[in-house]
Amino acid sequence: MIKYPRSLEEKPAPEKKPGFWRSIGRHWPGFSIVLALSLVVATLLYPYMVVTVPSGDVGVLWKRLTGPGIYCWCILARGTILDPRELREEGLHIIWPWDKLFLYDLRLQSDTETYNAISSDGVNVTAEINIRYQLNHDSVAVFHKFIGPGYLKSLLAPEIGSQARDVISRYTAQNVYVSRQEIGKQIKLEAQKSLGEHLNQLVQPEASEQQNAETYRNDLQNSIRVLDTLVLSIELPASIVAAINSQTEQQYKITEYKYRAEREVEESKRKQIEANGIAAFQRTVSEGISDSYLRWQGIAATVALAESPNAKVVVIGAVKDGLPVILGNMDSSVSPVPAPQPGTGGTTPPSGTSPSSSGTTPSGSSSTAPTGTPADSPKLPSMPGGPTPAATIKKPTADSSPTSTNPDNGLSSSTHFALSDIKSMLSRLSDVMRSSESPTSAGTATKP
């Protein structure tokens, strides 16, 4: 309500200005509505305006309408922005809500595909190939416009498959089986060459509203790089694999037989050298060793054995130069053989008796069998000039029991001598051998 002055000279009272908080309180309902609407709009537009580019990726901007750019404050034509400077790097970015940002991975990527091929000899081959590839940063925008995100299935995998079939067709089944590394290198080189020759044909500058679109015609040539094509496995028919394995086995056997033949040749040389050495040794030994030396060594060995304190079994040789053979390990005590009784016959007194009672015979004479001893009973041969054999072998008579276990009645095939008897016999044997070697007394027996 307007307040009028009481008189014309009276001045009207000044109006009081509302305070800040009073103004806010007065306009608070309108502010609340605006703030609520702003929050709703921001919440709805946040996914469309705020974009995060993760590590190792790059963003390609696509504009729905021609208008100013947020970063360059310039007018950008609609469509895919081909300028590499307008790519969005890693981090948080704001775009117009009606625009889009497409993300591409710039890191090393890998994919495994299986391809069927035919070798040069008509064998069906199944190859499993791993592809390692990477995109070029500056060519991502052009790559996105003319190829797109599905480039692995639409471009790379078919190209690698075509080159793999072409390379495998140059090899036989056996060579494919053993040349995987070489095949992988050839597939990589030819795939990279083919992609470089054909990708530039996909660029169509007239399809873009960007300025200077002609300058991006050659950007697709190196937009994708094939780093490796690894042949993980090659599968052949089972019959072909068995044949290849058999052939390889036979080749190894041939090599083995060659080494065997070489070894036999070297072995024959070794044996020839060994035979020559043995022959030379025998010639040397035969020239320096005589029969008398060998007999003397035999006598020395026999004397050494006879001086041993252990019990011995002496076997007298039957030939002229036969030496006694002494068998040891007779540690058990032996009961002496009793003297023969009158009428029993067939036994010989022990060797420890005197020469008169032991029945010695002169050198060269033959001993006769006692009464009651069969004529064909075997005897130990007598030495020239020495005593008769210490024991003879008696055949069992009709009245003797073959199963008797009495040691006095049983007959042994050899008699055990005392050490003094053995030394006496060896001394006589040495005298006989020396006398037989002398030309004056050859053929005569020397009495000890």
Per-residue model confidence (pLDDT) at position 438: 54
**pLDDT grade, residue 2 (50/70/90)?**
low
Measure the N-to-C terminal CA separation of the chain; round to a whole number of Å: 185
Higher pLDDT, 30 or 163: 163
Query: Quick one: the chain helix, strand, coil %, rounded to 5?
Result: 45, 15, 40
More confident residue, 214 or 66: 66
DSSP state of 398: T
Q: Answer with the residue of higher pLDDT: 303 or 322.
A: 303
More confident site: 320 or 123: 123
User: Looking at the predicted structure, is the pLDDT value of residue 331 above 90?
Assistant: no
Spatial separation of the C-alpha atoms in residues 432 and 448, rounded to whole Å? 9
Those residues whose C-beta lies under 8 Å from the C-beta of residue 103, and which sit 6 or more positions away, are 53, 54, 57, 58, 59, 60
402 pLDDT exceeds 50?
A: no
Q: What is the average pLDDT across 138-144?
A: 91
Residue 423 reports pLDDT greater than 90: no
Q: Which of 42-56, 77-91, 267-281, 324-338 has the lowest mean pLDDT?
A: 324-338
The mean per-residue pLDDT over the stretch 224-245 comes to: 88
Q: Are 156 and 198 in contact (CB under 8 A)?
A: no
Q: What percent of the chain has pLDDT over 70?
A: 66
Side chain identity at 189, as an amino acid letter? L
Q: What is the pLDDT of residues 181-224, one digit of tens each?
A: 899 999 999 999 998 888 888 888 777 777 777 778 788 888 89
In the three-class reduction of DSSP (H, G, I as helix; E, B as strand; rest coil), residue 111 is classed as: strand
Percentage of the chain surpassing pLDDT 90? 28
> With contact defined as beta carbons under 8 Å apart, do 78 and 209 qualify?
yes
- More confident call, 215 vs 163: 163
pTM score above 0.75: no
Question: What's the whole-number mean pLDDT along residues 395-420?
Answer: 44
Give the HSE-up count for residue 315: Cα atoms under 13 Å, Cβ half-sphere.
8
Rounded average pLDDT over 14-33: 72
Q: Which residue has the higher pLDDT, 56 or 31?
A: 56
Quick one: pLDDT at residue 27? 76
Per-residue confidence (pLDDT) for residue 70, from 0 to 100: 82
Mean pLDDT of the chain: 74
Count CB neighbours of 391 within 10 A.
21
* pLDDT score of 382 more than 90: no
Q: Is residue 370 predicted with pLDDT exceeding 60?
A: no
Contact by Cβ (8 Å): 99, 61 = yes
Q: How far apart are CA 428 and CA 223, in angstroms?
A: 117
- Residue-level pLDDT at 265: 93
pLDDT at site 439: 46
Of 135 and 240, the structure prediction assigns the larger pLDDT to 135
pLDDT of residue 413: 40
pLDDT at 103 > cutoff 90: yes
Residue 306 and residue 420 in contact, taking contact as beta carbons nearer than 8 Å:
no
Contact by Cβ (8 Å): 388, 358: yes
Instruction: Output the pLDDT for position 347.
Output: 42
Instruction: Please report the pLDDT score of residue 170 as a whole number.
Output: 92
Quote the pLDDT of residue 20.
67
Query: What is the structure's pLDDT at 436?
Result: 56
Left if phi > 0, otherwise alpha if psi is -120 to 50, otherwise beta: which for 334? beta
What pLDDT is attached to residue 317?
57
Return the bridge partners of 274, or none: none
Flag the least confident range among 65-74, 133-142, 269-278: 65-74
Q: Which range among 42-56, 68-82, 104-118, 282-296 shows the weakest confidence by mean pLDDT?
A: 282-296
In this model, does residue 325 exceed pLDDT 60? no
> CA-CA distance, 292 to 160, in Å (whole number)?
96
In this prediction, residues 327-337 reach a mean pLDDT of 46
Query: Would you say residue 260 has pLDDT above 90?
Result: yes
| Euclidean distance between CA atoms 100 and 78, whole angstroms | 11
The DSSP secondary structure of 257-273, one letter per residue, reads: HHHHHHHHHHHHHHHHH
- Per the model's pLDDT, the better-predicted residue between 72 and 324 turns out to be 72
Whether pLDDT at 6 is above 80: no
**Residue 186, C-beta contacts closer than 8 angstroms, at least 6 positions apart:** 167
For residue 243, the model assigns a pLDDT of 85
How many other β-carbons are positioned within 10 Å of the β-carbon of residue 162?
15
Average pLDDT over residues 74-100: 89
